[in-house]
Structure 1
Amino acid sequence: MQYKLLLTALLSLLPVTIAADPRYCQGKTSLNTQDFTLKESLDNAHLPVLSKYFKSKGKIASVTAVLQSANRALSKGSPPVGKESPVEAWAWNSGDDKTKEWIPQGITSSADAYAKGTWNDHEAWVVSWYRDGDSVRLSFVDRKTHKYRHVMLVYPTADDDFKSIAIHAGGIMWYGNVVYVVDTKNGIRAFDLDNIWEVEIADGVGKSKDGKSYSADGYLYVLPQIRWYKWTPGEDSHFRFSWISLDRSDSPDTLMVGEFVRDGEKSKENNTPVPIRYVKYNLDSSTRRLHTKNGIATASWAYCVNIPNVQGAVSYDKRFYISRSTGRAPKQGDLFIWEQGKTATEHQGWFMAGNEDMSFNPVHKEYYTVTEYDRDRYILAYKV
Structure 2
Amino acid sequence: MTHLPLQKRSKGTKATSRTRTRGARLTACLAAAMVLGALSVPVQAQENPAHPPDPVPPLSQQQDPRATEATAPPALGPQAWTGPGGQADPADHTLTPGAQNAATAEKVARLDAVLPKQSLTNLLGNLNRTAEIGCTNRDPFGPAAPQPDVKYCLQNDDSVTKEWIPQSMTGVSDAKDNEAWGSDAGRNIHLFSAYDDYDPGRNNSGDNQIGDCTPAELEADDACNQKGVRVTFSQKKVDPVTGVESVKYRHVLLAWTYVNTAKNISFDGLNSGEGPTIQNGIHAGGMVWYGNYLYVADTRNGMRVFDMRMIMDLDPDNDVTTRDPMGTDLDGTPTTSNTQDKTKAGRHNNVWYSFGYRYVMPQVAAWKFKAPQSNPAGQSHCVSTGAPKASYLSLDRSTVPDRLIMGEYCYPNADSPSTGRIASYPVAALESRTADVPAQGWSNYLPLPRGGAQGAVAQNNKLYVNVSNNKNNGRLYRAAWNNGVLETIGAPIPTAVGPEDLYIERGTGRLWSISEHAPSATGCTAICQRVLYGHKLSWVDAQP
Does structure 1 residue 114 correspond to structure 2 residue 267?
A: no
Structure 1: distance between partners of 2:459 and 2:174: 12
2:151 pairs with one of 86, 89, 105: 89
Q: In structure 2, what is the Cα distance between the partners aligned to 1:20 and 1:247?
A: 31
Q: Does 341-350 or 184-193 show the bigger shift?
A: 341-350
Q: Partner residue of 1:163?
A: 268
Q: Is the 8 A contact 2:88 2:421 kept in 1?
A: no
SS of equivalent to 1:297 = coil
Once the two structures are overlaid, the 10-residue window that deviates more, 198-207 or 301-310, is 198-207
Name the structure 1 match of 2:447: 306
Q: Does 1:357 align with 2:501?
A: yes
> Shift of the alpha carbon at 1:360?
0.7
Hey, what's the Cα distance between the residues in 1 that align with 2:362 and 2:505?
26
Q: Give the letter aligned to residue 297 of structure 1.
A: V
Deviations 1:202-221 (A, max 9, x none): 3344433212x322111111
Task: Output the amino acid matched with 1:148.
Answer: Y
Deviation at 1:116, TM superposition (A): 1.1
Paired residues of 1:111 and 1:117 also in contact (CA < 8 A): yes
Matching residue of 1:131: 196
How well do the aligned residues superpose, as a CA RMSD in angstroms? 2.4
Q: Which residues of 2 match residues 56-71 of structure 1 at below 5 A?
A: 59-71=116-128
Deviates more, 1:217-226 or 1:68-77: 68-77
Q: Which residue does 1:6 correspond to in 2?
A: none
The answer as to 2:111 corresponding to 1:50 is: yes
Which structure has more strand as a fraction of its residues?
1
Q: CA deviation at 1:51?
A: 0.9
CA deviation after TM superposition for structure 1 residue 232, in Å: 1.2
Matched, 1:319 2:457: no
> Would you say the 8 A contact 2:76–2:416 is kept in 1?
no
TM-score using structure 1 length: 0.86
Query: Which has the higher mean CA deviation after the structures are superposed, 332-341 or 17-26?
Result: 17-26
Residue 248 of structure 1, CA deviation: 0.8
Q: Counterpart of 1:30 in 2: which secondary structure?
A: coil
Tell me which amino acid in the other structure corresponds to 1:340: W
- 1:98-142: per-residue Cα shift (whole Å, max 9, x none)? 101110000111111101112232221101000036410011101
Pick aligned residue for 2:531 from 374, 378, 381: 378
Query: 1:4 — aligned with what?
Result: none
After superposition, the Cα gap between the structure-2 partners of 1:204 and 1:336, relative to the gap in structure 1 and judged at 3 Å, is same
1:179 aligned counterpart, secondary structure: strand
| Counterpart-to-counterpart distance in 2, 1:51 and 1:346 | 51
Q: TM-score, normalised by structure 2?
A: 0.61
Partner SS state of residue 348, structure 2: coil
Residue type matched to 1:91 in 2? C
Structure-2 residue corresponding to 1:228: 366
Which residue identity is paired with 1:48? A
CA distance in 1, matches of 2:364, 2:505: 26
Amino acid at match of 1:197: M
8 Å Cα contact 2:90-2:439 kept in structure 1: yes
In the TM superposition, residue 27 of structure 1 has moved relative to its aligned partner by 3.5
Report matched runs for 1:1-384 at 5 Å. Answer: 24-27=80-83, 29-41=86-98, 42-43=101-102, 44=104, 45-54=106-115, 59-76=116-133, 77-78=135-136, 79-81=139-141, 82-120=144-182, 121-122=185-186, 123-132=188-197, 134-144=227-237, 145-158=246-259, 160-166=265-271, 167-199=282-314, 200-201=338-339, 202-211=341-350, 213-236=351-374, 237-262=386-411, 264-265=412-413, 271-284=415-428, 289-290=430-431, 295-300=435-440, 301-307=442-448, 308-328=451-471, 331-341=472-482, 343-348=487-492, 350-375=494-519, 376-384=529-537
Amino acid at match of 2:180: T
| 1:68/1:265 CA distance change after superposition, 3 Å | farther
Q: Distance in 2 between matches of 1:62 and 1:289?
A: 23
CA pair 20-333 structure 1, distance change in 2 beyond 3 A: closer
CA-CA distance at 1:74 after TM superposition: 0.5
CA contact (8 A) 1:283 1:291 kept: no
CA distance in 1, matches of 2:432, 2:110: 27
Q: Is the 8 A contact 2:266 2:347 kept in 1?
A: no
SS of the aligned residue for 1:115 comes to coil
How many residue pairs match? The answer is 353
Secondary structure, counterpart of 1:334 in structure 2: strand
Q: Is the 8 A contact 2:93 2:387 kept in 1?
A: no
Q: Distance in 2 between matches of 1:109 and 1:84?
A: 24
Q: Distance in 2 between matches of 1:324 and 1:49?
A: 42
Q: Separation in 2 of the partners of 1:23 and 1:203?
A: 50
* Aligned-partner Cα distance in 1 for 2:124–2:95: 33
Q: CA deviation at 1:350?
A: 2.5
Distance change in 2, residues 1:24/1:291 (3 Å)? farther
The answer (yes or no) to whether the contact 2:403–2:424 under 8 Å persists in 1 is yes
Q: Distance in 1 between matches of 2:360 and 2:432?
A: 27
Which sits farther off after the overlay, 27-36 or 179-188? Answer: 27-36
Structure 1: gaps (5+ residues): 1-15
Query: Could you tell me whether the CA contact under 8 Å between 1:36 and 1:299 is conserved in 2?
Result: yes
Structure with the greater relative contact order (CA < 8 A, sep ≥ 6): 1 or 2? 2
Identity %: 27
Q: CA deviation at 1:24?
A: 4.2
The offset of 1:366, in angstroms, is 1.1
**Cα distance change of structure 1 residues 23 and 47 upon mapping to structure 2, 3 Å threshold:** farther
Q: Which runs of 5+ in 2 are unaligned?
A: 1-71, 198-225, 238-245, 272-281, 315-337, 375-385, 520-528, 538-544
